[in-house]
């Protein structure tokens, strides 16, 4: 299985007026524009996803929707509370192995520091691997048999600036 992990794009500031509820913070206009360019770079790399699984938080959902639209994959978009801030990575692995066992590739859209911790756990077996996922950054992992623990190979980690330039 190929797992792609995408951090949400630039969002409104935490705790700003009107955004006291962190789960409701939307992307900024700049964040949405940049995410479209990032998604076009992803498309230029000839990626494809059998499923796009996103945190239900507004900023992640909007990020996933932009990617789904660029890829013409709106019907592949689903949501998981396990990708939300404070989500349970072990439960996400269970969900992926149970509900998505037949997929060859999945895009997971979520938040930091959750994503770096998840990558570290399935690449190295613990959370000590230091990884920086920038907003709009994308990571590719390959997995033969997904489980919670060391099971994946880190293929690459791209910054948003690199993805924008690929177009």
Kindly give the confidence (pLDDT) of every residue in the chain, 167 residues in length, as a single tens digit, with 9 standing for 90 and above.
999 999 999 999 988 788 889 999 999 999 999 999 999 999 999 999 999 999 999 999 999 999 999 999 999 999 999 999 999 999 999 999 999 999 999 999 999 999 999 999 999 999 999 999 999 999 999 999 999 999 999 999 999 999 999 97
- Measured CA to CA, the distance from residue 42 to residue 60 in angstroms comes to 17
Tens-place pLDDT, residues 46-62: 999 999 999 999 999 99
Residue span of the structural domain in which 158 resides: 2-166
Axis crossing angle, helix 29-44 with helix 58-71, rounded to the nearest 10 = 40
Q: Which among 81, 114, 127 has a CA at the least distance from the CA of 7?
A: 114
CATH of the domain at 140: 3.40.50.1240
Q: Structural domain tally of the chain?
A: 1
């Amino acid at each position: 299985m190929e797992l792609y992990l995408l951090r949400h794009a630039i969002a409104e500031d935490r705790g700003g007026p009107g955004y006291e509820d962190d789960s409701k913070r939307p992307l900024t206009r700049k964040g949405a524009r940049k995410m479209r360019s990032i998604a076009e770079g992803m498309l230029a790399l000839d990626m494809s996803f059998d499923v796009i699984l996103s945190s239900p938080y507004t900023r992640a959902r909007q990020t996933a929707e932009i990617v789904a639209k660029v890829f013409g994959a709106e019907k592949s978009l689903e949501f998981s509370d396990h990708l939300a801030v404070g989500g349970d990575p072990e439960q996400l692995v269970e969900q992926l192995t149970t509900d998505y066992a037949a997929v060859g590739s999945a895009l997971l859209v979520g938040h930091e520091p959750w994503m770096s911790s998840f990558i570290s756990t399935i690449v190295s077996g613990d959370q000590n691997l230091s990884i920086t996922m920038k907003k709009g950054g994308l990571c590719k992992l390959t997995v033969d048999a997904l489980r919670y623990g060391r099971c994946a190979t880190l293929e690459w980690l791209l910054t948003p600036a690199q993805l924008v330039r690929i177009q």
